[in-house]
Amino acid sequence: MASVIVDKKDEKIIHLIRPDVQKAQAYHEPPARGLIKLDAMESPYTWPAYLRGEWLEELQGVTLNRYPDPQSTELKARLRQVFDIPAGLEMMVANGSDELIQIINLAMNGSGNKIMAAEPTFSMFQMIATYVGMEFVGVPLREKDFSLNMPLMLKAIAEHKPAVIYLAYPNNPSGNLFTEEEIVQLLEATNSLIVIDESYHAYSGVSMMGLMERYDNLLIMRSLSKIGLAGLRLGYLVGHAKWMAQIDKLRLPFNVNVLTQFTVEFALNYYDVILEQVDQIRRDRTWVAENIRRLKGIEVFPSEANFILFRVGEGRGDRVDSRLRNKGILLKNLNYNSPQLHDCLRVTIGKPSENVAFLSALTSSL
């Protein structure tokens, strides 16, 4: 994050830009040139050469002088088929989860409505709430294991009556899953819209999609960014028609470009290749976690995603992070994100050679 300083003499900025925007921080991505990049939960794998060649050949037929299909009809049909989306549910596609969150929040803004999430969690839940002028209510997870603190959650729901409750499943940055019983309890405790972010669904292998048969105030949000398609920025939302019809009104026309629509459809024709890469990452996640646990003074948190959260010794988080960068390894330093994340670092699972380099650097950095 980069602090934004407003010149007190610049009256145009002071009077025209919203005060909360002036105080906000812009999202900052650290430079990764020359480093092994293990900070952003991307897949480390590209497509095999034969797929890249076939994709480039077929890409020549994409029409760039025409607007894309505004409804992404063929793309949604392919997503529905590959990810087994129930026929009775509606879908919407957008530029990653970020745009979906923004559209949902815009639809819910007004009359003092609030956004709620259990935290620490995906930073965009709070940031986008601020961007659209809504109050964000964060409910702390249990520090020991990042599980839901149900008494606090239920109390916050009763007190704040949020319009939307976001839950990341698995949670980012902790990597853990909440229980289905807890999510059902939340659904039954409120008429609020509950949005479950299943961006790491491929790695966890579990979903709350089945609950939609019983609960119409549930939306499922997913992203393809974590399975090798981050550069395409494609996310999709699934929900009951009565919600989706209203939310879709705020989606800008032609929001998903022709190159993304075509490329995602192409990639899903070879989803078995993507799943092979996912399986490799899951195996490597287990191996990396086991090796981190062997290091003295480190606490490793269980993960069902493509990353691992770990805590180094008291007061050593920044020092270890700096040493890792000096050794060519870029992780996510979460030391300042929340009290629960003191001295915590998050590593994305990379290729086997990158994982070995990380473990070697971490060992010497301690």
Residue 10 lies in a domain: no
Residue 305 lies in a domain: yes
Same structural domain for residues 220 and 280?
no
From 215, 244, 268, the end of a domain falls on 268
Same structural domain for residues 77 and 131?
yes
From 228, 252, 268, the end of a domain falls on 268
pLDDT in tens, 175-222: 999 999 999 999 999 999 999 999 999 999 999 999 999 999 999 999
CATH no. for residue 295? 3.90.1150.10
Same structural domain for residues 38 and 129?
no
Tokens found for residue 82: 């590959």
Confidence of residue 1 (pLDDT cuts 50, 70, 90): very low
Same structural domain for residues 81 and 177?
yes
Residue 5 lies in a domain: no
CB 298 within 8 A of CB 345: no
pLDDT of residue 2: 47
Same structural domain for residues 188 and 220?
yes
What is d(CA 158, CA 153) in angstroms, rounded to the nearest whole number? 9
Residue 232 lies in a domain: yes
Provide the terminal-to-terminal Cα distance of the chain, rounded to the nearest Å. 26
Mean pLDDT confidence for 246-268: 97
105 CB-near residues (< 8 Å, 6+ apart): 115, 128, 129, 132, 134, 164
Burial class (CB in 10 A: 0-12, 13-18, 19+), 50: exposed
CA atoms within 13 A on the CB side of 119: 20
Residue 11 lies in a domain: no
Same structural domain for residues 259 and 294?
no
| Closest among 348, 336, 342 to 316, alpha carbons compared | 342
| Closest among 314, 296, 262 to 73, alpha carbons compared | 262
250: containing domain = 65-268
Same structural domain for residues 43 and 91?
no
pLDDT in tens, 124-159: 999 999 999 999 999 999 989 999 999 999 999 999
Same structural domain for residues 278 and 262?
no
Number of domains in the chain: 2
Is residue 262 pLDDT above 50, yes or no? Answer: yes
Is residue 20 pLDDT above 90, yes or no? Answer: no
Report the SS3 class of residue 334: coil
Same structural domain for residues 221 and 318?
no
CB 51 within 8 A of CB 344: no
Report the SS3 class of residue 333: strand
From 237, 268, 299, the end of a domain falls on 268
